[in-house]
Amino acid sequence: MIPGWMKEVEEVPETFSGATTKKKNFIRKTVDGIFSFFQETIVSEGFTKRNGLLQGLDPRVKLISIFSIVFAVSVVRDLYLLFLVYSLTLVFAYLSKIKITYFIKRVWLFIPIFTGLIVLPMIFNLFTPGDSILDIMYRGKDAYLGPIGLPETLSVTSQGTILAVTFTLRVAACVSAVVLLFLTTPRQVLFKSLRSLKVPKIYVITLDMCYRYIFLFMDIIRDMHIAKKSRTIKKRSTIEEQKWVGERIGYTLIRSINMSEKVHQAMISRGFNGEIKILQEYNMMPRDYVAGFFCITFSVALVLISSNIIHI
C-alpha cells in the first residue's frame, strides 16, 4: 500500500533551457559546425564516385588544366571574359553531376563574399576617383580623416564598382575551378598526382596527413563535448565554459604532438620512405589529351585576348 505523501505531486513549471530559449552557446555552435563539416565532407566525397565528365579524366590532366585556367583568370581584366569562365565552371559542374545549388553555395558562401567585403571600399571615390553614380554624404570642403584629405562629397563611382565586381568575379571563377577539382577527384589520387608533377613531397605529405587526421581530431573534440554534456546537470557560466574550452584546446594540442610522434615511428617501422603509394595506376586516354589541349588552348586565348593581342 502506497503512503499518501508519496501520491502528492508538486507541479512545477518545466525549466529546460533548451526548450525555453532557442539561443545556443558557443560550444554547441562549435559541435554543430563539426557535424556540418563531417556531413559536407561525406557529400563531397560522394561526388568523386559519380560517373560524370570530370570524374572520368586523368587527375594529372585535371590538375594541369585547372592550374592553367586559374593562372589565365588571374591576369584577365575583362568582366565579360570572367563571367564566361565562371559560367563554364557551372556547365562543367552540371556535366560532372554536381548539384548546381550545392556548388554555388559552397563557392559563394565563403571566399567570394569575404573578398567582396574586402574590396567594398574600392567603390567609393575616396579610394577610386571617377564618375559618381550615387552620392552618400556631403562633408564639405577641407574635410579630413586624420592626415587623409576627404572628398567634398562621399560617393560611389562607376569605375570603383567595376573594379570591385571584376575582382570578386575573378576570385569566384578561380575558387569555382579549384572546387571542381576537389569535388571530382579523390583526395589520395589528387595527392599522388601532385607528386607526379614534381611537387616537393614535404608539401604533399603535410597536406595528406593534415587531411587524414583532421577528422580524427574532430571526432575527439566531439567525444569530449558529449562526455562533458552527459556529466553536466547545471548550466555553467560563460567564463567557466570558456575556461573548459581553453583546457581542452591545450589537452588536444599535447595529444596531437604525442600522436604525431607515434604515427611517424609506426610509418617508419612499416617501410615508409616519404612516397605516397596507392593501388590506382594512371592511364592516359585520348579524351585526356583532348581535354588537356582544350583547357591549355583556352587559357592561352584568355591571356592573349586580355593583353589585346587578339581582338574579338
Predicted local distance difference test score (pLDDT) of residue 68? 92
Residue 182's Cβ-side half-sphere holds a number of Cα atoms within 13 Å equal to 15
Nearest to 294 by CA among 139, 94, 65, 26: 65
Query: Which amino acid type is present at position 226?
Result: I
Could you tell me the three cell numbers for 74?
A: 588571374
Chain centroid offset of residue 195 CA = 23
Mean pLDDT, the chain cut into blocks of 10 residues (312 residues total): 53 44 58 64 73 88 91 89 92 91 81 75 83 79 71 83 89 89 85 81 82 80 82 80 86 88 88 73 85 92 84 69
**What DSSP assignment string belongs to 232-281?**
--SPPPHHHHHHHHHHHHHHHHHHHHHHHHHHHHHHHHTT--S----S--
pTM for the structure as a whole = 0.72
